[in-house]
Amino acid sequence: LSKMISGGMSIFGFDKSFRVLGQGYVGSIPIPVIILIVVALIGSFILNKTYFGRYVYALGGNEEAARLSGVNVKRMRMMLFSLGGFITGIAGIVLLSRMNSGQPNAGAGFEFDVLTAAILGGISIMGGEGKISGVLTGVLIIGVLSNGLVLMNVGDYYQSIIKGVVLIAAIGLDGLQHKNRKKKAVPSVQLAAGG
């Protein structure tokens, strides 16, 4: 859609004041970092201190159990996709301000880094587990890895391969942890049932 609207061309000519959002500083702290911290704090509060956050974890852990517990699964899913779109919009505006141009290919491949950072940060691909603090740790790991690969003059293709290996390792580790948790849970359920 962005390529259709822009005709595949980059869009320039934004006001200089718009750059502040992506390139400005408050003291020595970049404004994008402040935005990240504010969004992370709000998200952490919502996930850990509200019913909505509990419903999010319930929905991710077991959708059918959440539905049977009275959670309106369709409404929750719509709200979560809307919230994800809103936060993605904030990230898009910050990126637009940082680059000072609208490029139809901007952000291509970011989903790969995001997925890797989330899994490295402890978000389970099985759902229902994870914390925002862990995701921030995962983002820092991916940022350091990406920056290090650039500083070492590693080619783009090799960077993708290395990040892919990291993603596969993270998914494999997550799968093993999930399997081990299931094994530990089964004997306790059997003991409770008298078996």
| The model scores a pTM over 0.85 | no
Q: How far apart are CA 53 and CA 113, in angstroms?
A: 25
Average pLDDT along the chain, 195 residues, taken 10 residues at a time: 85 89 94 95 95 93 92 95 95 92 84 88 85 92 93 92 90 83 64 51
Closest to 40 in 3D by CA, of 87, 86, 93, 79: 87
Write the single-letter amino acid at 167. Answer: L
Helix (H) or strand (E) holding 143: helix 132-151
- How confident is the model at residue 124, as a pLDDT? 83
- How confident is the model at residue 186, as a pLDDT? 58
